[in-house]
Structure 1
Amino acid sequence: MALLDDVKSELAAIDNELPAAKKAQATAMIRFGGGLRLVQRQIIVQAQFDSLKAAQWLQDTIRELYGHEALMTQISRPTPNGTVVQRYVVHVERGGAALALQTGLLDRRKRLVRGLPADIISGNIAQVKAAWRGAFLAHGSLSDPGKASFLEIICPTSEAALALSGAARRLGITAKPRQLRSSERITLKDPDAIERMLVLMGAPHSAREWTGKRTDGEARGKANRLANFDDANMRRSAKAAAEASEKVRKAFEILGDDIPENLRAAGQLRLEHGDASLEELGRLADPPITKDAIAGRIRRLLQLADKTVKAREKDMAADSVK
């Protein structure tokens, strides 16, 4: 969560945007953070955040850009694992309908806009970036480095998800909506796309940190995979060497003294150095030989033992016929 907090703090600290971009961000924060509520025929604007700085940004912007007074309430919520998380609710009761019209969340006929206002989605690139920034501040999450990569925003409606998807396309990023556990979501899983989106939203420092930690995690994962691979290879080699030693022992019993000296020497090395690789056995030979040569001699030793067994069985079958 620490990195996610850093991302949201970096995004909420942006203060050099033009009014159109600030409006786009505020609208997206309200839309994805909660939206509009109708209480006793009065429209109340309400949005909830897990970042205090994001909530403060929206509270200040509503006052400075739209001229309405927004209240902020802090609430504590227990989680299933017993911890308590803090949430910050920004709400406008007096003038809520006027603010909804100013942000475009109500159209001119005072109908609720279920996605994002068209003038934001079709606006300039600064507005599109700001819309994504606002949606992420309201309901965005980011994977911890070293785990499966994802950047995700939970959307209040399918129309809102489609609006973000269209906005991402204008930024050159593919982000497809999906439904998970009865909620609409926009998810990025490609690490390069995630890094680019973080930069486009306005969090280049957090993007570098996330990428750096992800790279470190991938390097550790690769090292672990290589270590596991090496362990598996060693286990397979040890098993093969043990099986080869047992076959050589049986070959010696079958052939007795009737073994060519070079094959006997190779077999004896296998028995005396049961854990050694073929390359190591070749170096131990006198004179040293290659691993292919030692493998070939052991193979001919075993083949000779097989031929001897078959010949004996053939002789016994012939004797039984007589």
Structure 2
Amino acid sequence: MSYSSDVKNELARLEGQKPCCEKAELLGVLRMSGALVLRGKNIGIHFSTENAALARRVLQVLKSNYQVRTEVVITRSRRLKKNNRYQVEVLPDSRVADALRELQILPSEEDVKRSNLLGKVCCRKAFLRGVFMAGGSVSRPSGDYHMEIVTETEELARLVLKVMHGFSLSARMTDRKKDYIVYLKDGDHIITFLSIIGAHQALLEFENVRIVKEMRNNVNRRVNCETANLNKVIRASVLQVACIRYLQERGCYELLTDKLKEAAELRLLHPDISLNDLVEFTEGKVGKSGLNHRLKKIQQLAVDKGMDISEYD
């Protein structure tokens, strides 16, 4: 089961929602995936999903808030996985139109008296929960951070985007073929979104995996940094020793001053340590910058005497 399915199953089993929030959630679900069925002068509703928990949720909210007749049809998907598909049917009836007007899916004859289902903060959260359950997905936190809600209408996508912006989420919108996608790519904002819609167990899993992932990345960055520094130390030491040997082999070593000879002998005695560690063997007579300056002068003298150091770059 995918992480998205886990989130949706948790959301579909939430209890104790207020009637206004149940209606706002139902609005989100039906705007995303619902369809109107016309039979004569009466209207019905068709909703289809592969998520059994979501089908039960829609059926429960419909029955507890509206006097409508419902049926559930289970079919076998023809797609590769052949999952069950649950079709919730609200049978055409004059009372269905009243429910759709209250949900603001059908235009009302008295617009002034219409209640705003998204007027409360709790209802806007429920609306986002509904649209996510019906058309959302979120990647596992072990991979790239990505959450998206896919709609077929630009109007609905812009409404979802507006509601998400109202919660200070960095949501963006794009289009893909005939669909409109509202998405988040920031880990912190995805966690905030999961909290807003009530997916607290999924949020904890996301946060735990993210913490482990970031710790692993930090360790890898530190190891890479230390490895790079070690390689730099080794290259510098190898070059310095090679320059000293070059001067010795060509009889130029005696051209060095006493201070440069001290630095050269110190490097030959300790060819595998960093400059910081090498300074400790000077017994405080010279600092890091001074020792580095002397070794640079030895290197320059070797170059002046014809040494090619390009292979040490």
Q: TM-score range by the shorter chain?
A: 0.7 to 0.9
Does residue 270 (structure 1) correspond to residue 267 (structure 2)? The answer is: yes
C-alpha RMSD over aligned residues: 3.2
Q: How does 1:32-47 map to 2 (within 5 A)?
A: 32-36=32-36, 45-47=45-47
Equivalent position of 1:59 in the other structure: 59
Deviation at 1:97, TM superposition (A): 7.7
> Which sits farther off after the overlay, 268-277 or 157-166?
268-277
- Is the Cα contact below 8 Å between 1:146 and 1:218 reproduced in 2? no
Residue 142 (str. 1) matches residue 125 (str. 2): no
The number of residues matched between the two structures is 297
Measure how far apart 1:135 and its partner are.
Answer: 0.5
| 3-state SS of paired residue (1:53) | helix
Give the direction of change, closer, same or farther, for the CA distance of 1:268–1:300 in structure 2 (3 Å limit): same
Return the offset for 1:235: 2.1
Matches within 5 A, 1:97-176: 99=96, 102-103=99-100, 104-108=104-108, 119-121=116-118, 123-176=119-172
8 Å CA contact 1:58–1:90 kept in 2: the answer is: no
Structure-2 change in CA distance of 1:284 and 1:51 (3 Å): farther
Q: Secondary structure at the match of 1:119?
A: coil
Query: 1: distance between equivalents of 2:150 and 2:266?
Result: 66
Structure 1 CA distance for aligned equivalents of residues 236 and 42 of structure 2: 80
Distance 2:259 2:300 in 1: 14
- Residue pairs, 1:208-227, within 5 angstroms: 208-227=204-223
Among 278, 281, 299, which residue is 1:281 paired with? Answer: 278
Tell me the alpha carbon deviations over residues 157-183 of structure 1, each in whole angstroms, 9 at most, x when there is no partner.
111101112222444435332213442
Hey, what's the Cα distance between the residues in 1 that align with 2:143 and 2:258? Answer: 58
1:107 partner SS: coil
Which runs of 5 or more residues in structure 2 are unaligned? 307-313
Give, in whole Å, the separation in 2 of the partners of 1:305 and 1:209.
Answer: 61
Give secondary structure in 2 for the equivalent of 1:21. helix
Determine helix, strand or coil for the equivalent of 2:91: coil
Asked whether the 8 Å contact 1:129–1:201 carries over to 2, the reply is yes
> Which residue number corresponds to residue 73 of structure 1?
74
The 1:163–1:289 alpha-carbon spacing in structure 2 relative to 1, beyond 3 Å, is same
Q: How does 1:277-316 map to 2 (within 5 A)?
A: 277-284=274-281, 290-305=287-302
**Aligned residue type for 1:69:** T
The answer to whether the 8 Å contact 2:55/2:88 transfers is no
Per-residue deviation at 1:212?
2.8
Paired AA for residue 85 in structure 2: Y
Distance 1:97 1:290 in 2: 92
Report the CA distance shift for 1:197/1:305 in structure 2 as closer, same or farther (over 3 A).
closer
Deviation at 1:129, TM superposition (A): 1.4
- Structure 1 stretches lacking a partner, 5+ long: 110-116, 310-322
Q: Deviation of residue 132 (structure 1)?
A: 0.7
Moved more, 203-212 or 299-308: 299-308
Q: Which of 85, 94, 110 is residue 91 of structure 2 equivalent to?
A: 94
> For residues 10 and 183 of structure 2, what CA distance do their matches in structure 1 show?
21
Task: Report the CA distance shift for 1:182/1:301 in structure 2 as closer, same or farther (over 3 A).
Answer: same
Mapped to 1, the partners of 2:73 and 2:300 lie a distance apart of 86
Q: CA deviation at 1:299?
A: 2.2
The 8 Å contact of residues 62 and 70 in structure 1, kept in 2 or not, is answered as no
Q: 1:86 offset after TM fit, Å?
A: 3.1
Give the TM-score taking structure 1 as reference length.
0.77
Q: CA deviation at 1:225?
A: 1.6
**2: CA distance, partners of 1:155 / 1:96:** 28
TM-score, L = length of structure 2: 0.79
Which residue does 1:312 correspond to in 2? none
Deviates more, 1:177-186 or 1:277-286: 277-286
Distance 1:170 1:106, change over 3 A: same
Measure the CA separation in 2 of the matches of 1:183 and 1:203. 26
CA distance in 2 between counterparts of 1:287 and 1:7 reads 64
Per-residue deviation, 1:208: 2.9
Whether contact under 8 Å (1:55, 1:88) holds in the other structure is no
Q: Given residue 52 of structure 1, which amino acid in structure 2 is its aligned partner? A: A
1:282 touches 1:293 (CA, 8 Å); kept in 2? no
Contact 2:263 2:295 in 1 (8 A): yes
Kindly state the Cα deviation for residue 153 of structure 1 after the two structures are TM-superposed. Answer: 0.9
Would the aligned equivalents of 1:154 and 1:185 in 2 still touch at CA under 8 Å?
yes
